[in-house]
Amino acid sequence: MNSRLAGIGAWLHARAENILAAMLAVMFAVFILQIVFRYALNLPIGWTHEVSVVLWVWLVLFGTAFVVRDHEEIRFDLIYGTASPRVFRVMVVLTAITVIALFLISLPAVIDYVTFMKVQSTAYLDIRFDYLYAIYPIFAVAVIVKQFWAGCRAIWGKQARDVDPTKVSSGV
């Protein structure tokens, strides 16, 4: 059963990478279109900037929630790297508890604000802001789950420390 779940998880991760790559491709195409229209045709268009900004927000939050693995995140490891394995595990657990608490405390207000944003729309494409920012509560829940899992792994002594940064890649 575990290998089946691992296979499903790997497939879902690959699809999330595909979605992220598609968003990046669309953002790049819109960016090039904006340059062509503004500088080659002297016809500036505003919706391209709007699409680029929205896709950037979604790229960062969606990517962090579903694509970037814990060991692939950029960190300042000066303190973590010098700690003994036991102290490292304690720091991971304390960090996980802190992050979970902060995100749980903010989650109701975040959901309330995102749902409130239905009253405003974007300037060019007239897309409601609640749809555009709907990724943030999803991101917040994903961070809570990831930190819970990291804390559990540290408690069980299965927290990976020795990651070769030259081998880390999101595959995108």
Shared-domain flag, residues 60 and 72: no
Report the C-alpha gap between 165 and 7 in whole angstroms: 25
According to the model, what pLDDT value does residue 57 have?
Answer: 93
166 and 143 belong to one structural domain = yes
Question: Where does a domain end: 40, 65, 90?
Answer: 65
Give the pLDDT confidence score for residue 76 in this predicted structure: 66
The Cβ of residue 88 has, within 10 Å, a number of other Cβ atoms equal to: 17
**Is pLDDT at 168 greater than 70 in this prediction?**
no
Distance CA 54, CA 93 (A): 34
Question: CB under 8 Å to 80, separation ≥6 — which residues?
Answer: 88, 91
Instruction: Write the pLDDT tens digit of every residue in 61-113.
Output: 999 999 988 777 776 677 777 778 888 889 889 999 999 999 999 999 999 99
Q: Which of 12, 43, 65 delimits the end of a domain? A: 65
What's the confidence (pLDDT) of residue 100? 97
Residues 160 and 107 in one domain: yes
Is the pLDDT score of 158 beyond 80? no
Q: Rounded distance, CA 139 to CA 57, Å?
A: 11
The answer on 56 and 73 residing in a single domain is no
Provide DSSP, 34-87.
Answer: HHIIIIIS----SHHHHHHHHHHHHHHHHHHHHTS-GGGS----HHHHHS-HHH
Specify whether 21 is located in the same domain as 75. Answer: no
Across the range 136-146, mean pLDDT stands at 95
With beta carbons less than 8 A apart as the criterion, state whether 70 and 146 touch: yes
Cα distance from N-terminal residue to C-terminal residue, the chain: 28
Domain end (from 33, 65, 97):
65
Count of structural domains, the chain: 2
What is the extent of the structural domain holding 134? 68-172
User: Do 99 and 150 lie in a common domain?
Assistant: yes
> What pLDDT is stored for residue 80 in this prediction?
72
Statement to judge: residues 57 and 73 lie in one domain: no
Task: Spell out the residues 6+ positions from residue 95 whose beta carbon is closer than 8 angstroms to its own.
Answer: 147, 150
Whether 76 and 134 share a structural domain: yes
Please check whether residues 93 and 73 belong to one and the same domain.
yes
- 107 and 157 share one domain: yes
Q: At residue 5, does pLDDT exceed 90?
A: no
Please tell me the number of Cα atoms within 13 Å of 56 on its side-chain side: 9
Q: What is the pLDDT of residues 13-61, one digit of tens each?
A: 899 999 999 999 999 999 999 999 999 998 888 899 899 999 999 999 9
Determine the pLDDT at residue 31: 93
| pTM for the structure as a whole | 0.82
Q: Is 14 in the same domain as 93?
A: no
| 88 and 155 inside one domain | yes
User: Residue 161: is its pLDDT beyond 60?
Assistant: no
